[in-house]
């Protein structure tokens, strides 16, 4: 039985381990190692002497894996960096001062999706409790209006992370935790 190496698979592996890996690394994508490992694996398999039938099988499988390893990390990055739906915050008519949206799974209301936008209606007291705040964790556009439809200018006061106790005298904070608070203040009263 005649056995040979697979130079085409070696070339495909080399291209996969260099080009997508370099592009992903330059974009600071944490999945840069995927095409590197698959490409090096194809180089190693292609360097082995094997019969013609196995050569065809390894070529097909290696090509598929190289293609998937090259495209997959870019697709995953595009998906995770996508923009979220716009957010519309509705304040009571003529409201002035500070207001906030607080994550509270037990007492908070559910998210409201209205006409393709996340709607957050701030009550008279200025504090809205919601059971989830993930729309704020994605890239999004924010619009602030009074309940009568007039636009309102606001200034962001930032987000305060929720905390959990991790032991005596210690805690850890994250926007995943209860109590995460998004705060603003009205800068112009009509």
Strand locations in 11-111 (E): 50-51, 87-91, 98-103
- Asked whether residue 73 falls in the same domain as residue 117, the answer is no
Domain coverage including residue 118: 87-186
Looking at the structure of the chain, the number of domains it has is 2
Q: Answer with the one of 49, 80, 111 that is the final residue of a domain.
A: 80
Distance (Å) of CA 123 to CA 57, 79, 100, 101? 65, 34, 10, 10
- Asked whether residue 97 falls in the same domain as residue 175, the answer is yes
Mean pLDDT by 10 residues, the chain (190 residues): 82 89 82 88 89 86 90 83 87 93 94 93 96 88 93 93 88 88 84
- Asked whether residue 9 falls in the same domain as residue 99, the answer is no
- Asked whether residue 70 falls in the same domain as residue 92, the answer is no
- The pLDDT, as a whole number, for residue 91 is 96
Q: Answer with the one of 64, 80, 96 that is the final residue of a domain.
A: 80
What pTM, to 2 d.p., does this model score? 0.61
- Asked whether residue 97 falls in the same domain as residue 149, the answer is yes
């Amino acid at each position: 039985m005649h056995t040979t190496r697979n130079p085409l698979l070696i070339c495909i592996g080399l291209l996969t381990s260099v080009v997508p890996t370099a592009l992903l690394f330059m974009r600071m994508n944490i999945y840069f190692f995927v095409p590197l490992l698959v490409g090096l694996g194809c180089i190693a398999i292609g360097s082995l002497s094997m019969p013609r039938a196995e050569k065809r099988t390894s070529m097909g499988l290696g090509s598929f894996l190289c293609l998937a390893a090259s495209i997959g990390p870019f697709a995953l990055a595009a998906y995770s960096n996508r923009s979220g739906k716009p957010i519309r915050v509705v304040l009571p008519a003529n409201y002035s001062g500070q207001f906030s949206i607080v994550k509270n799974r037990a007492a908070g209301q559910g998210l409201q999706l209205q006409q393709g936008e996340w709607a957050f209606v701030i009550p008279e007291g200025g504090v809205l409790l919601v059971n989830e705040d993930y729309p704020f964790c994605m890239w999004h556009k924010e619009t602030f209006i009074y309940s009568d439809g007039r636009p309102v200018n606001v200034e962001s006061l930032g987000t305060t992370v929720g905390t959990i106790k991790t032991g005596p005298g210690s805690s850890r904070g994250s926007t995943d935790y209860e109590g995460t608070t998004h705060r603003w203040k009205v800068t112009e009263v009509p």
